């Protein structure tokens, strides 16, 4: 096969894969606690960015061949099953992520502390109204190299994993204390943290390229 034909074939395959890839749209249901109008605009941009991250080929390819320990599963924020040894395939995570093509989230943007947690989420499973909080001082200290909209998008991607049923398997020593960086050895087995890191590196590249929100 000639190089030109091979290049065209690869390009067409990438286009078809992108076209067939499932999509999700995250939207604001409620918003409050904005310090100023700029925070409101940045929050709206962050939700659009989070949707674009999940829908990107980069994200899909980064997750699909991974696997994670079973205790990532949760029914509530407190109920975990640590007895199962079965691993969770990355493709199962993607199936759960894209099961519902749209999601409404109530979003709180609060000050927090520089060395504190980046955010907090506990899904309301029965009411199906999800609320998440991001602490912008912690967000800024932790990802100071990123613009606000990108920082918020990274945390939204991380927190959304809790909405679809994945908690932190804290007994593995993954859960960070006092805002510390997740355990460098075990974080790769934590779905929410792994998704957060993948989203972070995507945002780093998108910011370099002045990624468009349209």
Q: Is the pLDDT of residue 176 over 80?
A: no
CA–CA distances in Å: residue 60 to residues 68, 107, 126, 132: 16, 25, 29, 23
List pLDDT tens digits, range 93-118. Answer: 999 999 999 988 888 777 777 776 78
DSSP 110: E
Q: Tell me the average pLDDT across 11-35.
A: 66
CA–CA distances in Å: residue 176 to residues 45, 156, 186, 199: 28, 18, 11, 19
Q: Rank 43-52, 74-83, 115-124, 162-171 by mean pLDDT and report only the highest.
A: 43-52
Predicted structure pTM score? 0.79
Place of tokens 């409101």: 40
pLDDT classification of 30: cutoffs 50, 70, 90 = low
Return all residues near 79 (Cβ < 8 A) that are at least 6 apart.
none
Neighbours of 111 (CB within 10 A): 11
CA–CA distances in Å: residue 107 to residues 119, 132, 161: 11, 5, 15
């Amino acid at each position: 096969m000639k190089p030109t034909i091979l290049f065209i074939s690869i390009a067409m395959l990438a286009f078809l894969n992108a076209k067939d890839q499932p999509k999700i749209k995250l939207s604001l249901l409620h918003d409050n606690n904005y310090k100023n109008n700029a925070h409101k605009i940045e929050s709206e941009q962050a939700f659009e960015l989070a949707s674009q991250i999940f829908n990107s080929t980069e994200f899909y390819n980064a997750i699909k061949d991974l696997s994670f320990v079973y205790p990532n599963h949760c029914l509530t924020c407190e109920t975990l099953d640590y007895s199962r040894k079965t691993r969770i395939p990355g493709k199962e995570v993607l199936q759960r992520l894209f099961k519902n093509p749209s999601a409404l989230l109530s979003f709180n943007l609060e000050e927090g502390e520089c060395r504190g947690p980046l955010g907090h989420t506990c899904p309301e499973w029965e009411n199906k109204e999800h609320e998440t909080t991001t602490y912008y001082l912690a967000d800024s200290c932790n990802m100071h190299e990123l613009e606000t909209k990108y920082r918020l998008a990274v945390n939204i991607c991380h927190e959304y994993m809790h909405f679809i049923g994945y908690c932190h398997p804290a007994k593995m020593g993954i859960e960070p204390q006092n805002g510390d960086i997740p355990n460098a050895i075990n974080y790769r087995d934590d779905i929410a943290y792994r998704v957060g890191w993948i989203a972070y590196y995507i945002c780093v590249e998108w910011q370099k390229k002045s990624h468009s929100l349209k």
